Amino acid sequence: MNEPDTTLKWYKVLNHVEELPEGRVTTVTAGHQGICLTHFEGKICALDNKCPHQGGPLGEGSIENGLLRCPWHGWDYHPCTGKAPGYDDGVATFPVEVKDGAIYVGIRQELPHEPTVSDIMVETMINWGVNTVFGMVGHSNLGLADAMRRQEGKGKLRFFGIRHEGAGAFAASAYGKLTGKPAACFAIAGPGSTNMFTGLWDAKVDRAPILALTGQVATQVVGTGNFQEVDLVRAFNTVAEFNHRVLSTSKHSELMSLAVKHAILKRDVSHITFPDEIQEMAPPKGDTAQTPENRITPLQISPPIESLDKAVAMLKNAKRPVIIVGHGARFSMDAIIAFAESINCPVMTTFKGKGQISDHHPLGCGVLGRSGTPIASWFMNESDLLVVFGASFSNHTGITDHKPTIQVDFDPLALSKFHKIDCQIWGEISVTVELISKRVEGAMNTIDQRPDIEERWKIWKAEKQRRLEDDHGKGVSSIAVFDAMNQFMPENAVMCVDVGNNAYSFGRYYESKQNTFLMSGYLGSIGFAFPAAMGAWAAAGHERPIIAVAGDGGFCQYLGDLTTAVKYEMDIKVILLNNFELGKISKEQRAGELDVWATSLHNPNFAQYAEGCGALGIRVTHQEYLPDAMKKILDHNGPALLEVISDVDLI
């Protein structure tokens, strides 16, 4: 009697022999081993599922004339011995047992996993703080994905499988905007990688750190027109500040360290592409995961003394200064607000900086520019000095170039970017504010503008109340939507805003409390809001409510990823303004004295769509039902969508 082979581990691969009729084959898995299971001449046999020539899955083939034919290139093998008749090649076979009608296959005990290049690089990435990935697993990134799977199993990595790589890139961009730290987006070669471009450009132009990881076809076929082959290093050259292909000779942990370091310090895009043959390769001896210890400098840079002296002199002469803050000042607002309070100075924001000071603060004046309030514009016009922190003076911002101006920014290229500035200060914003504040303490004689601010808010709120009464009988007005949001939105919600009339109305009518706002600023990409909400949820959803505000045109761009939110139980609330039109574009066509053309939309019932995805969906067609519906959406535990049929003309 033969002793049992103790080196084998037996796996049940089919519950009953009847599941595999005579003359048929199927694919099963035993542990990590792919098996082609055959039923030939009354015998169940197990072969390696991978054809040795092109890797074709033999379990998807068929038995013809007593031979198993590879489905990819027609090579024949004996269904039980695995031999190729007339040739000296073949495929490995595995022992099979049938017990109580079930089929078992014996596989040699697997050896412990040996670290791969991907393991070293993923561990290094995590050590540098990049522990959140939005991506899609596919055939050209499987080795890298497997390394991520191992880290997820250890509780060190969170991976969100998205439905479109563009949504993954937007989610990672929003994560970077909210936290100042990079998340990663992840895709296969070719179309998966090119799908990420829009989200990467959004991160780049808004100075958000982000890491792009892409699979790639084998190095030897790059440039040959191979299936899904795109030279990704060349393709990413315009968007990525750091852009490299992993080579067998690379210092792999150092390569990942440099990628993350560039993303953090440059506040930009880093891209690494992983050729297929590299991903599961053993790393060179001695190459172990790195950490950021002693690899990154503190960033609290003081400004040049001559710039500081000039700014202090200008401030001492000012009677009605105003402070304007942009997105670049978002992590320095405590110091800026304290400075403003010490000199009784109004504070307004760019649209990208909305919410960095509460509209309920005695010095808060709302948003300046096209999406702003008349309050901010009034105070800028009445001022005798502008003090601008972290804003770029783009034409959408609305900062006048006719007033004496002090500009403070961490990026020297942002200083005087579009026109001459009277006083440019290069330095870390919080440090600069504190130095200025100490220098001017007790030396300024400014007018207390708080009473003027209070009066201007009264005037604007009265105007909003009059607009709230507008009703053309064609849907709910935008101001009604945002009035309801003013009443019911959580004070500390992170709010992700799309592009279009919905965004303009949002900037104008929503009164921020302790909210944080995320938007596609300089790129202005429609479709941003919902995937951005996924990124915000990953960053802060455990402690803050997450809201997406979108129009019908924008939400349709990535509506498939509502299923992603449901899958991962992302508690995201979507406020969707549906006017069946690209309303902003229609408005621009009219302003250009053109015919309105190709802007009408055919939409589904978005509330029903949300229900079909497993979320809560509510549709509102009349203003009086809006408060109750909004409360139900906000009280729901899980993803929810409020669809408001809105009037395209009442924005």
> With bands split at pLDDT 50, 70 and 90, how would you rate the model's confidence at 392?
confident
Calculate the alpha carbon distances from 420 to 83, 322, 369, 387, 412 in Å.
79, 19, 20, 14, 13
Which of 182, 59, 17 lies closest to 69, judged by CA?
A: 59
Average pLDDT over residues 234-244: 97
Computed over every residue of the chain, the mean pLDDT equals 94
Average pLDDT over residues 315-320: 96
**Residue 438 above 90 pLDDT?**
yes
Per-residue confidence (pLDDT) for residue 4, from 0 to 100: 59
Average pLDDT over residues 532-542: 97
Cα distance between the two ends of the chain: 87
Per-residue confidence (pLDDT) for residue 378, from 0 to 100: 95
> With bands split at pLDDT 50, 70 and 90, how would you rate the model's confidence at 9?
very high
Which of 362, 356, 422 lies closest to 390, judged by CA?
A: 356
* Residues 275-314 as b or e (16 or more Cβ within 10 Å = b): bbebbbeebeeebebbeeeeeeeeeeeebeeebbebbbeb
pLDDT in tens, 114-155: 999 999 999 999 999 999 999 999 999 999 999 999 999 999
435 and 308 Cβ atoms separated by less than 8 Å: yes
**Pairwise pLDDT comparison (471 vs 626), residue with the higher score:** 626
**Residue 373 above 50 pLDDT?**
yes
Per-residue confidence (pLDDT) for residue 396, from 0 to 100: 75
pLDDT in tens, 545-564: 999 999 999 999 999 999 99
**Helix, strand, or coil (residue 97):** strand
Average pLDDT over residues 339-367: 95
**Residue 193 above 80 pLDDT?**
yes
**Domains along the chain with CATH numbers:** 8-108 (2.102.10.10), 117-279 (3.40.50.970), 305-451 (3.40.50.1220), 470-645 (3.40.50.970)
Per-residue confidence (pLDDT) for residue 6, from 0 to 100: 67
Q: What percent of the chain has pLDDT over 70?
A: 99
**Residue 371 above 90 pLDDT?**
no
Per-residue confidence (pLDDT) for residue 86, from 0 to 100: 87
The H or E element that residue 617 is part of is: strand 616-620
Average pLDDT over residues 14-31: 95
pLDDT in tens, 596-612: 999 999 999 999 999 99
DSSP string, 380-417: HHH-SEEEEES----TTT---SSS-EEEEES-GGGTTS
Per-residue confidence (pLDDT) for residue 5, from 0 to 100: 66
Average pLDDT over residues 292-298: 92
Cα 576 versus chain centre, distance: 20
Q: What is the DSSP letter of 4?
A: P
Per-residue confidence (pLDDT) for residue 418, from 0 to 100: 87
DSSP string, 159-185: EEE-S-HHHHHHHHHHHHHHHSS--EE
**Helix, strand, or coil (residue 158):** strand
- The dihedrals phi and psi of 252, each to the nearest 5 degrees, come to -65, -45
**Residue 3 above 60 pLDDT?**
no
- Sheet with 269-275, edge to edge strand ranges: 158-161, 132-135, 184-187, 210-216, 269-275, 242-245
Average pLDDT over residues 460-470: 91
pTM for this predicted structure: 0.93
* Residues 453-471 as b or e (16 or more Cβ within 10 Å = b): beebbeebeeebeebbeee
d(CA 37, CA 570): 41
d(CA 554, CA 155): 34
Per-residue confidence (pLDDT) for residue 1, from 0 to 100: 42
The H or E element that residue 509 is part of is: helix 501-509
The length of the chain in residues reads: 651
433 and 413 Cβ atoms separated by less than 8 Å: no
